[in-house]
Amino acid sequence: MTSPSSASLEFVVRTIAQTAVDNEREFGELDAVVGDGDFGYSLARGFEIVLAEWDAYDRSEPSVFLQKIALTISKRVGGTSGPLWGTAFLRAAAAVKGKSELTGQDAVAMLRGAAEGIRKRGNSDVGDKTLLDALVPMTDAIAVQLAADSSTPAPEVAKVAASAARAAADATTSMQAMRGRASYTGERSIGSPDAGAVAVAVMAERVAQTWTGSASS
């Protein structure tokens, strides 16, 4: 993958992976409030392997690259996170199958594909206090921005995405968990944000903070 858009995709995926590793403790502590606390550990161990195998991934097409990432995550991320995040990357890959150049609309398609995969795999939806509660509003915000101005520079779109993801993640604090181990706690799950939604926000913020001219497509 040598095109500017492919370089941007690699930048975003690598940033997601590094953020998962860097925030292992924080994500785990959030999950421990109402869950089993393994979210941060599981995500970090899987994405550590993604980073370790980074140079070996097939970059012949963006979709192939994402498929390889999906396979690593599905195999190496423990708990429920592996199937969910693996499916997300797999559906994102399917959304751009056969394409060598990616546009802003392709980014929206990848994110929508990822969200739909998580919905089906996790039998969950927006409002259930899961990562979808940040991922979907973030994707909607990107789509709205690009519809208003399709020439918006990618770093600016990233800032819009980060802002929307953070607001949506914070909003999960007042929700009651309806899926996963956190749902077993009932009303006690109200009062703390969802760890998965926060992870999406932190990842989006890191992308926005570190986007450079080399990944400006």
The predicted model scores a pTM of 0.92
**How many Å apart are CA 74 and CA 161, to the nearest integer?**
26
pLDDT at 197: 96
Selection from 86, 33, 88, 94 nearest residue 61 by Cα: 94
pLDDT at 79: 74
d(CA 62, CA 4): 12
- Give the tokens for residue 130: 């899961």
Supply the angle between the helices 4-22 and 62-76 in degrees, to the nearest 10. Answer: 20
pLDDT beneath 70, residues of the chain: 1-3, 36, 78, 178-189, 212-217
How does pLDDT run across 32-69, given as a tens digit for each residue? 887 767 889 999 999 999 999 999 999 999 999 999 99
**Distance between CA atoms of residues 66 and 8, nearest Å:** 13
Residue 94 lies in domain = 4-215
Question: Token digits for 82?
Answer: 């592996």
The dihedrals phi and psi of 77, each to the nearest 5 degrees, come to -90, 125
> What is the pLDDT, as a whole number, of residue 214?
44
Q: What is d(CA 132, CA 197) in angstroms, rounded to the nearest whole number? A: 7
CATH number for position 92: 1.25.40.340
Q: How many domains does the chain have?
A: 1
Alpha helices in the chain (DSSP H): 4-22, 24-34, 39-52, 62-76, 81-95, 104-122, 132-148, 154-171, 195-210
Please classify residue 50 by burial: count the beta carbons closer than 10 Å to its beta carbon, then call 0-12 exposed, 13-18 middle and 19+ buried: buried
Question: Which pLDDT does position 188 carry in this prediction?
Answer: 61
For the chain, give the longest Cα–Cα distance: 50
Decide if 201 contacts 134 (C-beta within 8 A): yes
Nearest to 23 by CA among 195, 172, 209: 195
